[in-house]
């Protein structure tokens, strides 16, 4: 069964460093998402991406964040200068053109900023 994959599973970085989180969505999907979950809190929407551009973003998704689909398979989230409060689990999701309501999630990347 097709699945969304994410790498790495755990990333530890120093405050102020740049990180790139990677996702490989399901191959025929067209809509891509990033969500995050700070420990003990709810899962929050960050950004959606369609047709090589951002279609919607939340207030959390400020200038420190960017997304890119550098090739036909990867979807990345970059944080330019990490802060302590960026420590969270980051989930990638994708959905296809036919199942417009169902998003498929990856296993997540745990980001720890020291």
Partner 1 sequence: GNSVTQMEGPVTLSEEAFLTINCTYTATGYPSLFWYVQYPGEGLQLLLKATKADDKGSNKGFEATYRKETTSFHLEKGSVQVSDSAVYFCALSTPYSGAGSYQLTFGKGTKLSVIP
Residues that bind partner 1 (CB under 8 A): 4, 6, 31, 33, 35, 41-45, 48, 50, 55-56, 58, 91, 93, 95, 100-108
The distance of closest approach from Cβ of residue 83 to partner 1 in the complex, given in angstroms and rounded to an integer, is: 23
Which C-beta is closer to partner 1: that of 46 or that of 79?
A: 46
Residue among 14 and 42 whose Cβ is closer to partner 1: 42
Nearest CA among 109, 111, 113 for reference residue 4:
109
> Measured between alpha carbons, how far is 17 from 44 in angstroms, rounded to an integer?
23
Q: In this complex, which beta carbon is closest to partner 1, that of residue 59 or of residue 85?
A: 59
Among 64, 9, 53, 55, CA closest to 45: 55
Q: Minimum CB separation from partner 1 for residue 105, in Å? A: 4
Closest to partner 1 by CB, 66 vs 110, is: 110
Min dist CB 42 to partner 1, Å, is 4
Number of other residues whose CB lies within 10 A of the CB of residue 75:
25
**Entry field: residues in the chain:** 114
Enumerate long-range contacts of 50-55, CB under 8 Å, 24 or more apart. Answer: 55/31
CB of 98 to partner 1, least distance (A): 13
């Amino acid at each position: 069964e097709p699945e969304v994959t994410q790498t790495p599973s755990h990333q530890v970085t120093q405050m102020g460093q740049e990180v790139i989180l990677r996702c490989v969505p399901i191959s025929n999907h067209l809509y891509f998402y990033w969500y995050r979950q700070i420990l003990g809190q709810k899962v929050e929407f960050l950004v959606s991406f369609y047709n090589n551009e951002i279609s919607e973003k939340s207030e959390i998704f400020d200038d420190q964040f960017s997304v890119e689909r550098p090739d036909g398979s990867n979807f990345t989230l970059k944080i330019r200068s990490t802060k302590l409060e960026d420590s969270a689990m980051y989930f990638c999701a994708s959905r296809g053109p036919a199942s417009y309501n169902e998003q498929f999630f990856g296993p997540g990347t745990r980001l720890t900023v020291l």
